[in-house]
Structure 1
């Protein structure tokens, strides 16, 4: 078992919407990944949400560009839309984008990824957990380096970083100083320090969700939007700034 340390690991919060981004910064995050629909693993947020978040935050905002939930093998139209979104985000001055494309065989789609990195222009590009759906982590690392992404987000190809520790170590060793490996997957104040010690990763990514009731007084008992359960219709999931702060303190030994 290795026990490594990084002087001051960077913390990125995965957030949904402007309010989540504001809460993440209040809790001490260094950067946010801005998404919509975290129930689907995160999809591209609306342009107004991006603009408002850039206006309200002083920390960097990286925006996911993912046209839908599900797998990471996209149609020609979906791929074209991703390119348009990246170019629009670059024009807005967004500092980073989060993308991922795979081929059906479970490998990085290098052609499409290279074209998206080009479309991103000056933005720093992260490959999201599409990486975790690849057949071989070392093979995927080399592909991502070839296409020019800056970092990869991974839980070690398992549901949680704790379960994925062996593959996280392999991935970090393969990447060396050529690609930043940002660790995610079930991280919170109870385990993040141990995961940091055992991987030596420089960047960590988590969400800190808290569920509360809707402010709606009138509640139609006969319909749920989009087929959701009626109980979900009147629940809100928000970022908890206190949980963010506790997890960051645990990571940094404060």
Structure 2
């Protein structure tokens, strides 16, 4: 079981790896669902994780809020992807939508071009795609070489245990074309149920290893991962 732990900045990275994280999703500002970290945070995390044989996926998101981006924000994301690749990141986590509830295909194609050579995860913007278009979205992302889709299987306010049927449908539809990565509200307590029910090989969350650090922290803010 590959455990991808979502961490805010570098603070809890060493502890997460010690507790069994195989991959880190690196973010800033988890309270708004995660944004792109600074150069220093990315550089230190990538160097540390690679010494520990742990991969790093970095979210590329210029702000909280929705996933509909203007020209300036798109240029920022393009530059951030290029910069992260130069630092040796293993992959990036992105997601762009149109106002009509479908993937912003033009922007995604530009970002995917920038991301060539590293893994790409489409984050929980997927859960805001129109419900009747989500299987079509899996087709679109798989055919463009995206490695995985991070999804809660439903709106962020729902319990993931109540979304297992939908997640199973995603997994069966995706087959071997693209990985469906469940996330959002997964803890050490419900992890066995989710893994056994869905028969998955990768899992994502902030609490899949228990609480990191001395402070008890909440899960993602807006469910974007």
TM-score of Structure 1 vs Structure 2, range by shorter chain: 0.7 to 0.9
Distance in 2, Cα, partners of 1:15 & 1:77:
27
Do structure 1's residue 143 and structure 2's residue 143 form an aligned pair?
no
Please give the alpha-carbon distance, in whole angstroms, between the structure 1 residues aligned to 2:169 and 2:100.
21
Contact 2:96–2:108 at 8 Å: present in 1 too?
yes
Deviation at 1:201, TM superposition (A): 1.9
| Structure number with bigger Rg | 1
Give 1:119 deviation, angstroms: 0.2
- For the aligned residue pairs, the C-alpha RMSD in angstroms reads 1.8
* Aligned counterpart, 1:54: 46
**Runs of 4+ residues deviating >3 angstroms:** 209-213, 236-239
CA distance in 1, matches of 2:212, 2:20: 17
1:99 pairs with 94, 99, 106, which one? 94
Residue number in structure 1 paired with 2:182: 183
Q: TM-score w.r.t. structure 1 length?
A: 0.78
Partner of 1:34: 26
Provide the secondary structure at the position in 2 that maps to 1:163. helix
Number of the residue aligned with 2:170: 171
Looking at structure 2, the residues matched to 80 and 68 of structure 1 have their Cα atoms a distance apart, in angstroms, of: 13
1:24 aligns with 2:2: no
Q: Residue 109 of structure 1: which of 104, 113, 130 is its match?
A: 104
1:62 Cα offset (Å)? 0.7
1:155 aligns with 2:178: no
Number of aligned pairs? 209
Of residues 126, 145, 150 in structure 2, which corresponds to 1:131? 126
CA contact (8 A) 2:12 2:212 kept: no
Contact conserved, 1:87 with 1:121, CA < 8 A, in 2? no
Q: Secondary structure of the residue that 2:12 maps to in structure 1?
A: helix
Shift of 1:17: 1.1
- Give the secondary structure class of the aligned counterpart of 1:164: helix
Matched, 1:45 2:45: no
Aligned counterpart, 1:122: 117
Structure 1, gaps ≥5 residues long: 1-8, 214-235, 240-254
How far is the alpha carbon of 1:120 from its aligned partner?
1.0
